Structure 1
Amino acid sequence: MMNMKEIITKALQVPFRSFHYVLPVMFLVLYIIGELVYTPQEEIVLTILCIIEILVYIIIGAISLDITRKAINHVEKLPSFNITRIITDGIKYMILFIIYTLIPLLAVYIIAYLSGLFNIISLTVPLTQTVLTTNQYIHLGIIVLIGIILAFIAILYEIMAGAILAKTGSLRSALNIKQVTNNITHIGWTKYITLIIISSIISELIFFIGSLISIIPLIGDLILVLLIKPFIVMFNAYMYGLIYNESQDN
């Protein structure tokens, strides 16, 4: 069993030792699409760009899953591009992401509906010029807070579920809430949440540095797209695999 410092250090070291060459290409494609979208385009072109963007994100998700699998198997050399594996992993990852995203959204929708939130929102329509009462603002605030909490919980479960998918290749196992809960419980909720928060903070700091570098004309953007963003993906994916291994240690 590794302590938190060892997990973080290991996850930071691996991208330096074995950089995944496909990720920079994917982020470069996203960068180009982003630039094209801001220029006048035909509707059919925008549709094609949107489809390409979705496919690229699916590939990035599949690569992340593969990197997590390498971490689980204690392999430091990051995986090469395997089109068959990318397709199967990508489809499974997309389904997993959609389901774990829909759960909190549906929960918030049901809570909002049952609590009469939509009636309150209808009062804020500009045509009515209605001023909400303090209680109504509190009501809105509570629903928003519940939504944030549910989203955070969903992220915690989605990360562990993704690791289970990487390990087993089974979407059913990854969607087994009881198994996901047991894995997190075995690690310890405090340790698990702390590691996820730390990985998020490190990622944000690295991205912030990359954003500062991107101020440099042309070269800065390339560094951000080709190095910084891929590094963040590799760091997080490998770290999630190491975290998963903590749930398997006796």
Structure 2
Amino acid sequence: MFNKTACLALLLLMISSSAFCSDGSVFVPPDNNYFFVSQEPFQLAQAGKDEWGTSSQTGSFSDRPAGHKSPGRAILYSLLLPGLGEVYIGDSRTKATIFFTTEIGVWSTVLFSRQLGGWKKDDYRQYAIANAGVDPTGKDDAFWDMVGFHNSRDDYNKESRVYSRDNPFYPETPEWDWQWMSDETREAYRDIKNDSKSYYRVANFALAGAALNRAVSMFFAWRSAKGHNRSLVDEFSGLNFRVVPMPNGSSAECRIEFSRSF
């Protein structure tokens, strides 16, 4: 008698708990044959007819296990600093070290290359001032380019505008004048200027490398977080139960079956 009473009480408890949703509203089942609970830590659903022709109820515990890592947070950490997402997850230290080292390397390359490019920029301008009489005041990059391709301002105005009328006309005033002493000095100027451009180009490639390093770290952090969460198993993970009513004449009996998924 005690077993029948306890079994019936447990069944009524689960039915009554399923009548309330997680937001506090009452859930009304669509019919009297089955019910389910959508909120964690367990879920109930109709299992169909059993061998006695009665409806049984099934459920599973799905509470979030301890140690769960947020994939979104891992991505954010890797965006801020490549490798930090891997540290948050507790992934391989080697992988995080690779991302850290790469980040240091690319930014060191950016800063160093920009510094060298700036030094070379100062060098070619000083060289043009000393060897071609260039006045640097108010001159843009296009002007410095033309200085390296033409021996003088007059040559530029005659030659360059023949090929393109869009090229600016430099006034015949002292501040826009230049005159190279020889083709060799002009070519030396161009070599220094090309070196400056090369350093700036390396810096731009390094910036692209920094973006790529972040993208790769974000991807691996996301994948590692997903894999980490899949590997977690708490005491309820994979645990399923089944409530089976058992007709026995005029009395009410039930059977509760537990199983674990592997």
Could you say which structure has the greater relative contact order, defined with CA pairs below 8 angstroms and 6 or more residues apart?
1
TM-score range, shorter chain: under 0.3
In terms of fraction of residues, the more strand-rich structure is 2
Q: What TM-score do you get using the length of structure 2 for normalisation?
A: 0.25
Greater Rg over alpha carbons, structure: 2
In terms of fraction of residues, the more helix-rich structure is 1
Q: What TM-score do you get using the length of structure 1 for normalisation?
A: 0.26
